[in-house]
Copies of this chain bind each other. A is one copy, B any other.
Amino acid sequence: MPRAARKPRFERQLPEQRRRGLIDATIECLKRYGHEGLSIRTISAQAGVSVGLINHHFPNKDELIAAAYRQFNGELVGGMQVAVARAANSPQARMRAFLEASFSPPNLDADTLAVWVVFWGLYRHSRMIQRVQRETYQGYVRLVRGLLTELLPRPPRSAHTSRSRSTPVELRLAAVGLTALLDGLWLEWCLEPGAFRPAEAINLCEAWIESLCQRVGAAPALPGMPE
């Protein structure tokens, strides 16, 4: 028998590479089949390996899912940070870059949003997902908060006693509102992609931010309390 024709039945890989491949397959299955794609056999078939290999690299299925969620979140947040870092060095340009990155691929992608929703569905009943969420989401929150901090003007110096201490509180609300608007637009676009165009979403967010600037600048109070 010709020994040159023999081909290895499989290829050994370094654990790090194989883990990465399994995580990628997990996310791909999630995109294709939703929550039902999260089975060992579906994932291993997608990765082109046998069923037993997953438990060789991950203690159990939940850990694989958590690792997938970590990578998924990390790459998206990382992409946003890169987009912002590449922007021109002005607060407006940086915010604009952030919004444009938010509403263009890979962020504004039906697959991406579908994956995200499945993870959200797991959130409440999985300690592991909660932990990953806490670890990765704070990078995103810091990014948004930083963009808003440099964008919103300082309150007038005349208000320097109790008013000045109210600003960080209002900044918190501003960040809450902006991320809510972003998340909500993502969701809406996912459920009905024809309802609006990405550019319109950007305009909505910029209108929100502009009204914030007007409030902070003109009167040093955000919609917290009517005085």
Known interface pairs A176-B196, A211-B211; A203-B182 also in contact (CB < 8 Å): no
Residues on B with C-beta less than 8 A from A191 are 120, 123, 133
Size category, A interface: 35 or more
**Interface residue SS majority, chain A:** helix
Residues on B with C-beta less than 8 A from A187 are 120, 180, 183-184, 187
Find out whether the CB atom of A207 lies under 8 angstroms from the CB atom of B223: yes
Which A positions have Cβ atoms within 8 angstroms of B?
Answer: 33-36, 110, 114, 117-118, 120-125, 133, 172-173, 176-177, 179-185, 187-188, 191, 195-196, 200, 203-204, 206-208, 211, 214-215, 218-219, 221-227
User: What would be 8 A-B contacts, judged by CB atoms less than 8 Å apart?
Assistant: A34-B122, A177-B207, A180-B185, A180-B204, A208-B211, A218-B226, A223-B225, A225-B226
